[in-house]
Amino acid sequence: MIPKYRKKFNEEFSPEKYKQFQETLQIKSGVEPAFRISESPIFLPNDFRTKLLSASESIISQIRKMPVEILNKAIPKNCKVPNDHEKPHFITIDFGICRSENGEINPQLIELQAFPSLYAFQQVEEETYVGLYPFLESVQSNLSKEEYFDHLKELIVGDEDPRHVILLEIFPEKQKTQIDFILTEQYLGIKTVCLTKVKKEDNKLYYEDNGEKIEIKRIYNRVIFDELDKIPDLHLEFNFRDKVEVKWVTHPNWFFKISKFLLPLLKHEYVPKSYFLHEFPSTEKLEDFVLKPLFSFAGSGVNLNPTLEITVSIEDKENYILQRKVNYEPLFEDINGEFSRAEIRLLYIWKDKDEDPILVQNLSRMTKADMVNVDFNKKDAIWIGSSHAFFEI
């Protein structure tokens, strides 16, 4: 979308440089990324950034005004965790980069979450792009690497000794996001601990490090609570429903409260109309909508072409939404003259002492398929996968 940067990048790109990019990420983290990294970043003009910020600020403002009882309706009864926090520590907002009916390129809200998303990795990915393509220095983030991780450390570690702070995940070594866990450990000085290794004594939690029992006082939570019931033969000492003396960053209840559950309740020109499945009006056409389960990751369960037969067969209709289809525009030209579509995720943090959340980073994803998911692309496709957006200065 910014021809001078796209032209410059494509001229400097080579398969060898992409290999160097991958190797650099592996050297920095010690592991090979388990998800596909796009060969290219995306470039977005300032007027598009203004649209993104306008939509995001409106969405956050609307969420802040929602009654607590409305937000609490999103939490399944069997998933409520004690000691809820008054606000989420993370807000991530996904926008498709789309063409409107009048021909303008506009963002369209796709999803939103109060759940951390590759916050450490994205900063390192941006740094790696800039290191290999020095002309990107002029459009990189205003936050230095040190400032960025200072923000994260203040949020996640706070005034606590990092030994008493953990990144919590279930079987972290098996997760595709493991590279982010490792980078978080490096820059924040905390340990990644598997939920199966957490010990509970009375109302306190502990983990072991080289044979030493260490109390857990703050949890940087990366566990998706409702996914635990899907893991067979899972034996845990600690149940999320237990009342324990620990500070959650962010509290698990917010995973449900800020989610696709909110999409039917939000209003903005860049928010496509959405309905809960059980409230879908007869005046709308089903073929104009995408069917989505409320709580899913990486496109799981999404149906781009729902039929009446499919929707009627769903028993828990209150756990699904229908969201009006949007047109992801192929705008990002690769070295073969083919074009990729993209969406961008804005990464906010919300510190306890701050009145408002802070936009600190972004994550973009590129595709040549109908869905922004690498699995839906041809195996030899390029300009697909996780990426980063640079904005015109």
Q: Which residue has the higher pLDDT, 100 or 14?
A: 14
Q: Which helix or strand (DSSP H or E) is residue 260 part of?
A: none
**Count of alpha carbons within 13 angstroms of residue 277, beta-carbon side:** 22
Give residue 296's pLDDT band: very low, low, confident or very high (50, 70, 90).
low
Q: How many residues does the chain have?
A: 393
Q: Is the confidence at residue 245, as pLDDT, over 70?
A: yes
Please name which of 334, 365, 383 lies closest in space to residue 95, comparing C-alpha atoms.
365
Written as six digits, the tokens of 138 are 């002029």
Q: Is the confidence at residue 300, as pLDDT, over 70?
A: no
Written as six digits, the tokens of 111 are 């999803």
Interval 70-100: pLDDT, tens: 999 999 888 899 999 999 999 999 999 999 8
Give residue 229's pLDDT band: very low, low, confident or very high (50, 70, 90).
confident
CA distance 344 to 346: 6
Q: Which residues of 37-63 are buried (b: 16+ CB within 10 A; e: fewer)?
A: bbbbbbbbeeebbebbeebbebbbeeb
Give residue 170's pLDDT band: very low, low, confident or very high (50, 70, 90).
very high
Q: What is the mean pLDDT of residues 101-125?
A: 95
Report the mean per-residue pLDDT for the chain.
94
Interval 188-207: pLDDT, tens: 999 999 999 999 999 999 99
This prediction's pTM: 0.94
Q: What is the mean pLDDT of residues 338-357?
A: 96
Return the residue matching tokens 């956050």.
60
* 210 within 8 A of 201, measured Cβ to Cβ: no
Written as six digits, the tokens of 208 are 């072991």
Amino acid at 40: S
pLDDT of residue 224: 87
How far apart, in Å, are the Cα atoms of 141 and each of 112, 180, 288?
Answer: 22, 19, 37
Q: What percent of the chain has pLDDT over 70?
A: 97
Give residue 359's pLDDT band: very low, low, confident or very high (50, 70, 90).
very high
Return the residue matching tokens 């090979």.
32
366, with CB counted inside 10 A (0-12, 13-18, 19+), is buried
Q: What is the mean pLDDT of residues 350-367?
A: 96
CA distance 154 to 137: 26
Cα first-last separation, the chain: 14
Amino acid at 313: S
Amino acid at 362: N
Give residue 380's pLDDT band: very low, low, confident or very high (50, 70, 90).
confident
Amino acid at 95: F
Q: What is the mean pLDDT of residues 129-157?
A: 96
CA distance 215 to 204: 7
Q: Is the confidence at residue 114, as pLDDT, over 70?
A: yes
How many CB atoms sit inside 10 A of residue 162's CB? 15
Written as six digits, the tokens of 148 are 């960025």
Q: Is the confidence at residue 227, as pLDDT, over 90?
A: no
Q: Which residues have C-beta within 8 Å of that of residue 286, sequence separation ≥ 6?
A: 280, 306, 307, 308, 311, 322
How many CB atoms sit inside 10 A of residue 151's CB? 17
Q: What is the mean pLDDT of residues 355-370?
A: 94
Q: Which residue has the higher pLDDT, 119 or 379?
A: 119
> 208 in helix, strand or coil?
strand
Give residue 297's pLDDT band: very low, low, confident or very high (50, 70, 90).
low
Q: Name the pairing type of β-strands 191-194 and 339-349.
A: unpaired
Q: What is the DSSP letter of 270?
A: T
* 367 within 8 A of 341, measured Cβ to Cβ: yes
CA distance 40 to 13: 9
CA distance 352 to 101: 41
Q: What is the mean pLDDT of residues 370-383?
A: 71
pLDDT of residue 161: 98
Please name which of 350, 372, 342, 383 lies closest in space to residue 86, comparing C-alpha atoms.
350
Interval 21-55: pLDDT, tens: 999 999 999 999 999 999 999 999 999 999 999 99
Q: Output the CA torsion 324→95→13→178 (10° steps).
A: -110
Q: Is the confidence at residue 1, as pLDDT, over 70?
A: yes
pLDDT of residue 101: 85
CA distance 262 to 112: 8
CA distance 125 to 136: 13
Give residue 230's pLDDT band: very low, low, confident or very high (50, 70, 90).
confident
